[in-house]
Amino acid sequence: MLAATASAAPLSPIRLRLRQQLLQQALRSSVHCRSFIATQPSASSSAATASLPSALEERVSQALEGMRHAGTFKTERIITTPQNSSIKVQSAGDKPVLNFCANNYLGLADRPEVIDRASEFLHKWGNGLSSVRFICGTQAIHKDLENQITQFYGSSNPRDTILYASCFDANAGIFESLLTDQDAIISDSLNHASIIDGVRLCKAKRFRYANGDVADLDCQLQLANDAGCRVKMVATDGVFSMDGVIAPLRDICDVVEKHDALLFVDDAHATGFVGDTGRGTGEYWGVIDRIHLVNSTLGKALGGASGGYTTGHPLLVSMLRNTSRPYLFSNTLPPSVVGAAAAAFDLVDNAAKGGPLLEQLWSNAALFRSRMHEAGFVLAGKDHAIIPVMLGDARIASLMAEKMLARGVYVIGFSYPVVPKDKARIRVQLSAAHSTDQVNYAVDSFIEVGRELNII
């Protein structure tokens, strides 16, 4: 078309310049097209590999080698059955072993009522929402579960609940959303990694108190006061999971109130089974209504899948819904997981009304503790289904775990840096799914191996 116009009549200088510009533009775009076409992968082009920068490769290889040398490199045993009190593990020759290292405190991970509700919700509500909650990811079941959890904690205080993909996410999102650089977080020194990471994401001033030490907490709160911090939030695990120790929440509440602070508790290792009706460490100490915010998981006692939540004052929960980044920018909890958690909360309610779950769990824990103590083992913790067998030496802990597995009892040795140096241990976790015979068999095996290794 440009050529035809050019041959029709002589062009004015302006039209000539315009024509040149148009020609140049056309040429440029055809060059772009050609170079775009040239960079498309073709069947004949050789496959490029993404090689690692040598500095990174060297550093990571050395770090992993260091872990192997120190005995801290993690290998994963492969389970070939659903999670339960008796499972099959590939490395144990695929014969059944008794599982004493899961957070399956109520045995709900493979419970028919939980699986049936998960399956019902999967079929009725679909596999997932393909969305975060605030775009198009909230179904009636998500609101129902949030209400169910709110009811679970009772109605003496105004309360609302917000679901997350995990308790890790709930911990990552809470501090940054609610606190500013004018505020303070006073954190227990043994808090879970997810609380530590959540605190790191927040601009509030940081104070740390010695594990479970209420006098030190008092001092740190005073320091935060003296520093002019406006809002002071105390953050603690409800249960310290390496030790099986319940945080002294009644005393903590007294100190928190004395300083006009807020209390946040992560009850991941308590919800569903600690306290007379399984409401957690707040119920254990009779202080549910004195705790401002609770985060917990749906991935341990409550069916073992995944998911977490924050429950607390509706104003704070509303702020989280609007600003908490792991909530805003991560996908909605899948319907099957919501169904499983709803069924788990129902079962906990039934257990609280005299069902056998809590009774079986606590009688298992009492039996294990008393027989092991009688046999001469040193045990840590109190009033919890986590019962660490203290061994000191890391090699003894891993050797003992191996020998236990050979006898058909699956337990794990924990050593530095997960626990302090020279405080290696085997962390035993009891479940309502264990039968009395299974608990007795585990104790008998500990006694045999303990004698063989001269521990008792």
Ligand X SMILES: Cc1ncc(COP(=O)(O)O)c(C=O)c1O
DSSP H or E segment with residue 445: helix 436-452
The rounded distance, in Å, linking the Cα atoms of 385 and 114 is 22
Task: State both tokens at 117.
Answer: 């509700």
H helices within 227-248, ranges in order?
none
Name the CA dihedral angle for 300, 301, 307, 312, rounded to a multiple of 10 degrees. -120
Least distance (Å) between residue 239 CB and ligand X? 7
Least distance (Å) between residue 269 CB and ligand X? 6
Picking from 263, 342, 348, the residue whose alpha carbon sits closest to that of residue 307 is 342
SS3 at position 247: coil
The rounded distance, in Å, linking the Cα atoms of 141 and 145 is 6
Could you give the residue numbers annotated as active site? 241, 269, 300
Q: Which residue, 298 or 439, is less far from ligand X as judged by CB?
A: 298
Least distance (Å) between residue 242 CB and ligand X? 9
Establish if 269 lies at the interface with ligand X (CB under 6 A).
yes
Q: Which residue, 187 or 297, is less far from ligand X as judged by CB?
A: 297
Site for ligand X in 64-83 (CB under 6 A): none
The rounded distance, in Å, linking the Cα atoms of 414 and 244 is 13
Q: Which residue, 244 or 450, is less far from ligand X as judged by CB?
A: 244
Site for ligand X in 218-247 (CB under 6 A): 237, 241
Which of residues 266, 330, 404, 405 is near ligand X by CB under 6 A?
Answer: 266
Per-residue contact flags (x/-) with ligand X for residues 290 to 319, judged by CB under 6 A: -------x-x--------x-----------
Q: Which residue, 308 or 335, is less far from ligand X as judged by CB?
A: 308
- Tally the residues of the chain: 456
Question: Which residues contact residue 148 at a Cβ distance below 8 angstroms, ignoring those fewer than 6 apart?
Answer: 342, 345
Number of residues that bind ligand X (CB under 6 A): 14
Cross-strand partners of 343: none
Per-residue contact flags (x/-) with ligand X for residues 151 to 180, judged by CB under 6 A: ---------------xxx--x---------
Task: State both tokens at 151.
Answer: 């009811």
Residue range at the interface with ligand X (CB under 6 A); choices 261-269, 282-290, 319-327, 395-403: 261-269
The rounded distance, in Å, linking the Cα atoms of 235 and 291 is 11
Q: Which residue, 218 or 237, is less far from ligand X as judged by CB?
A: 237
Binding-site ranges for ligand X (CB under 6 A): 166-168, 171, 192, 194, 237, 241, 266, 268-269, 297, 299, 308
